Amino acid sequence: MKTRYPFAVYKWIFFILLIISAPQLGIAGPNVSLFHKKKAQNQLELRGLIQDDLGSMGRVTVSICIDSTVIFTTQSNRSGRCRIVLPLNGRFTLLFSSPGYVTKKICINTKVPPGRTEGYRFDFTLDLFEQINGLDISVLKDPIAIVTFNNFIRAFDYDYNYTVAINESIKKLYGEYYSLKEMEKKEEGRK
């Protein structure tokens, strides 16, 4: 049976496609908003830097999902920077991937209190690491972060409770990653 989505889902998809495609369509430059004359409203602008152990990575694929369905895919620029504009009052998952690297995801809940229609901005840095044989990456089935509206600071921020809960698992993963990387270096040195 074919799944039917409410009109609001299609409206979000169109809005996301328009914003992300704007530079390619000649509507706006890479750092210019579509909202030239008045302040942007009803949106969350995400500005990210994706990097690896050596710094910025270059082009990384960024997929935007609703309910685990990819609705749009784009790439970061050559410096590993990306800009994504999402409509307010929705739930999105962003997947970051590059060949030879482990994919990571961030969940974004753009729901804001009633009456809040201003534009928001959230900056983030995301570290990707190389795929290594023997590394247990099962913890990355879950998002590495959740971003939500924080009523106390009246802005978007990482979900503190989720961050505390997942950080222990992430620390163990990175410890194992660096240990395996050292073992690889030692083995290469013996050859």
> Which residues form the domain of 125?
7-30+39-134+147-157
pLDDT in tens, 164-182: 888 888 888 888 888 887 8
Domain count, the chain: 1
Domain presence at residue 190: no
pLDDT in tens, 134-151: 888 888 888 999 999 999
Domain presence at residue 181: no
- b/e code 18-49 from CB counts within 10 Å (16+ = b): ebbebeeeeebeeeebeeeeeebebbbbbebb
Q: Which residues contact 34 (CB under 8 A, 6 or more apart)?
A: 18, 19, 22, 27, 28, 40
Domain presence at residue 128: yes
- Residue closest to 104 by CA, chosen among 70, 135, 60: 60
pLDDT in tens, 4-59: 555 455 454 544 444 444 444 333 333 333 333 345 788 999 999 999 888 777 78
Domain presence at residue 124: yes
Distance, CA of 97 to CA of 62 (rounded, Å): 7
- Residue closest to 69 by CA, chosen among 3, 154, 19: 3
- What CATH number does the domain containing 54 carry? 2.60.40.10
